Amino acid sequence: MLKMKRILIVISALLITLASHAQDRRPVFIGFSPQLTKEEFYDKGEFDLNIIPVVIQVPVTRRIDFRLSTLGNFRFGGKSKFSDLGFNLSAPVYFKRKDSIKQKSEGLFISPYLGLSRNVLDKHNTYNMAGQVGYFFLMGETFGMSMHVEYGSTLFIHDELAKEWGPHFGFKVNLGWWF
Residue-wise pLDDT for 6-37, tens only, equals 666 666 665 555 555 555 689 999 999 988 88
- pLDDT for the residue numbered 14: 59
Q: What is residue 120's predicted lDDT score, i.e. its pLDDT?
A: 94
The residue ranking higher by pLDDT, 159 or 17, is 159
Does residue 4 or residue 68 have the better pLDDT? 68
Say if residues 131 and 110 touch (Cβ distance below 8 Å): yes
CA distance 130 to 161: 24
Cβ-based burial of 49 (10 A; exposed 0-12, middle 13-18, buried ≥19) = middle
CATH class of 2-178: mainly beta
CA atoms within a 13 Å half-sphere pointing along the CA-CB vector of 59? 22
**From the centroid of its chain, how far is CA 113?**
8
Q: What is the mean pLDDT of residues 147-170?
A: 95
Give the pLDDT score at 6.
67
Measured between alpha carbons, how far is 154 from 130 in angstroms, rounded to an integer?
Answer: 8
* Distance from chain centroid for Cα 150: 11
Contact 33, 173 (CB under 8 A): yes
- Coil vs helix vs strand at 80: coil
Of 15, 25, 27, give the one whose Cα is nearest residue 106: 27
CB 131 within 8 A of CB 151: yes
Looking at the chain, the whole-number percentage of residues with pLDDT higher than 90 is 75
**Residue 157: C-alpha distances to residues 56, 124, 128, 162 (Å):** 28, 5, 11, 7
- Any idea where the domains of the chain sit in the sequence? 2-178
Q: Is residue 137 pLDDT above 90, yes or no? A: yes
Specify the pTM. Answer: 0.82
